Amino acid sequence: MLSLVQSAIEQMDPIDREVLALRHFEELTNSEVAETLGIEEKAASIRYIRALRRLKEILVQMPDLSNGAQHG
């Protein structure tokens, strides 16, 4: 599962990866992400939501994940 998620993240745009990394791995708040990226807090929030949506879209299209979900 981890390798599938990693593969999905690698398919994302760099800004989406950056936002997800800052929020989930660095555990920064939206405000901290905004400051790090030099953008408004609302923009950071919107980018985060879009990045999550894009990640989900990629994961749904991955055959290994779909097959695993059916058997799980």
Segment 16-36, tens digit of pLDDT = 999 999 999 999 999 999 999
Contact 41, 34 (CB under 8 A): yes
Task: Give the residue numbers spanning the domain of 41.
Answer: 2-65
Token couple for 43: 């923009």
Per-residue pLDDT tens listing for the chain (72 residues): 788 888 888 999 999 999 999 999 999 999 999 999 999 999 999 999 999 999 999 989 887 665 655 444
C-alpha 46/C-alpha 24 separation (Å) is: 15
Residue 27 resides in a domain? yes
Residue 54 resides in a domain? yes
User: What's the CATH code of the domain at 49?
Assistant: 1.10.10.10
Question: Whole-prediction pTM value?
Answer: 0.77
Residue 70 resides in a domain? no
| DSSP assignment string, 6-56 | HHHHHTS-HHHHHHHIIIIIS---HHHHHHHHTS-HHHHHHHHHHHHHHHH
Residue 71 resides in a domain? no
Structural domain tally of the chain? 1
User: What Rg value do the Cα atoms of the chain yield, rounded?
Assistant: 14
